[in-house]
């Protein structure tokens, strides 16, 4: 049984109004762009999470990177993840 749906929402700047179509599954929403070494601000990550909460209850939302971070510079990857943790 599928419990979590992962959606790459950072690079595509996904229209979050599609989230309710997932139903009662937990959504792991990509908010870190793994195609860029630019570090997302904590404020941006909080805002993206709050925007998603217009469509999903908090217990159904996990903020995450879009995908794997292997191609990023290690320093950028760490800063991105640190900001994501602070935003949560």
Bridge partners for 63 per DSSP: 29
| DSSP states of 30-58 | EEE-TT--PPPPHHHHHHHHHHHTTTS-G
3-state secondary structure of 27: strand
pLDDT of residue 73: 97
Residues 6+ positions from 73 with CB-CB distance below 8 Å: 37
pLDDT tens-digit profile, the chain (88 residues): 889 999 999 987 789 999 999 999 999 999 999 999 999 999 999 999 999 999 999 999 999 999 999 999 999 999 999 999 999 8
Every domain of the chain and the residues it spans: 4-87
Q: pTM of the full predicted structure?
A: 0.90
Give the DSSP letter of residue 83: H
> Which one, of 48, 38, 41, lies nearest residue 8 by Cα?
48
């Amino acid at each position: 049984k599928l419990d979590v749906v992962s959606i790459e929402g950072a690079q595509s700047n996904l229209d979050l109004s599609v989230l309710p179509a997932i139903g009662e599954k937990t959504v792991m929403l990509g908010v870190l762009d793994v195609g860029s070494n630019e570090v997302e601000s904590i404020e941006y990550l909080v805002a993206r999470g709050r925007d998603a909460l217009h469509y999903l209850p908090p217990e159904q939302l996990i903020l995450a990177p879009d995908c794997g971070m292997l191609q990023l510079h290690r320093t950028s990857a760490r800063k991105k993840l640190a900001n994501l943790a602070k935003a949560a």
